[in-house]
Structure 1
Amino acid sequence: MAKSMLIVSRQPPWAGPAAREALDIALAGGAYDLPVAMLFLDDGVYQLLDAQAPDAVQQKNLAANLQALPLFGVDELFVCTTSLALRGLADASLAIAAQPLTDAQLRELLPRFDLVVTL
């Protein structure tokens, strides 16, 4: 039986390779029918913002990768409500739908997965 994996993405979209690597791992796992979910936590919530300007820092937009997640079977996307609130993003427009989770719900989420990868 395939192990399930939760990828916790904690980095902003263009502070280094971590955000892109998290998405690449999710897409690769989904391509091999591994049950994969993603959690956007801390500064990782910035990846979900609808309006971004990657050209300003000479990077590619991650939106296409985010939009491709369901095509690869990565249907469970979660976002931490505390992380959104602390960054003033509680009412922000997100580029892709993610299920908001409270801190208590996060504690219940993690044990559901066999592997947890944090980037």
Structure 2
Amino acid sequence: MARSMLVISRQAPWSGLAAREALDIALAGGAFELPLALLLLDDGVFQLSAGQRPESLEQKDLSANLKALPLFGIETIHVARDSLVQRGLDIDSLGHPIELIEESRLGDFIARFDHVVTL
């Protein structure tokens, strides 16, 4: 049986390479049919914001990577509810299917996976 992996992305898409690297790991794991999930915490939730203009910061747009996740077996992006609320993001305005996880359940959720990668 394949070992499961959780990729946790905590960085905003404009704060460096960590957000892109987290998505790349998720896509690569999905290409090898590894059971995995993606969890956005803290500033990582900004990856779901619509209307980003990464070119103004000489960054690449991550929205195509997010849209490709279902092709690699990741149907839902898991998101910490508190992270969305603290950053003033409206759940209804996000352009991707998400599953909200309450802060009190994060530990149980993370414990379900054999390997955890945090970026």
- Tell me how far 1:76 sits from its aligned partner: 3.6
Q: Secondary structure at the residue paired with 1:37?
A: strand
Q: Secondary structure at the residue paired with 2:38?
A: strand
Cα distance between partner residues in 2 of 1:3 and 1:75: 18
Runs (4+) of structure 1 moved beyond 3 Å? none
- Is 1:49–1:92's contact at 8 Å kept on the other side of the alignment? no
- Tell me how far 1:75 sits from its aligned partner: 2.1
Question: How many positions carry a matched residue from both structures?
Answer: 119
Cα distance between partner residues in 2 of 1:53 and 1:92: 20
Cα distance between partner residues in 1 of 2:19 and 2:70: 17
Match of 2:28 in 1: 28
Match of 1:100 in 2: 100
Q: Secondary structure at the residue paired with 1:8?
A: strand
Q: Which amino acid aligns with 1:52?
A: Q
Q: Which amino acid aligns with 1:37?
A: A
- Is 1:63–1:95's contact at 8 Å kept on the other side of the alignment? no
Q: Which amino acid aligns with 1:48?
A: L
Q: Which runs of 5+ in 1 are unaligned?
A: none
Cα distance between partner residues in 2 of 1:45 and 1:24: 16
Match of 2:70 in 1: 70
Judged with a 3 Å threshold, the aligned counterparts in structure 2 of structure 1 residues 91 and 68 are, in CA distance, closer, same or farther, namely closer
Q: Secondary structure at the residue paired with 1:23?
A: helix
Once the two structures are overlaid, the 10-residue window that deviates more, 47-56 or 35-44, is 47-56
Root-mean-square deviation (CA, aligned residues, Å) is 1.1
- Tell me how far 1:3 sits from its aligned partner: 0.5
- Is 2:76–2:97's contact at 8 Å kept on the other side of the alignment? no
Match of 1:112 in 2: 112
Q: Secondary structure at the residue paired with 2:93?
A: coil
Cα distance between partner residues in 1 of 2:98 and 2:76: 8
Please tell me whether residue 19 in structure 1 is matched to residue 19 in structure 2. yes
Match of 2:80 in 1: 80
Q: Secondary structure at the residue paired with 1:45?
A: helix
- Tell me how far 1:92 sits from its aligned partner: 5.6
**TM-score of the superposed pair, with normalisation by structure 2:** 0.95
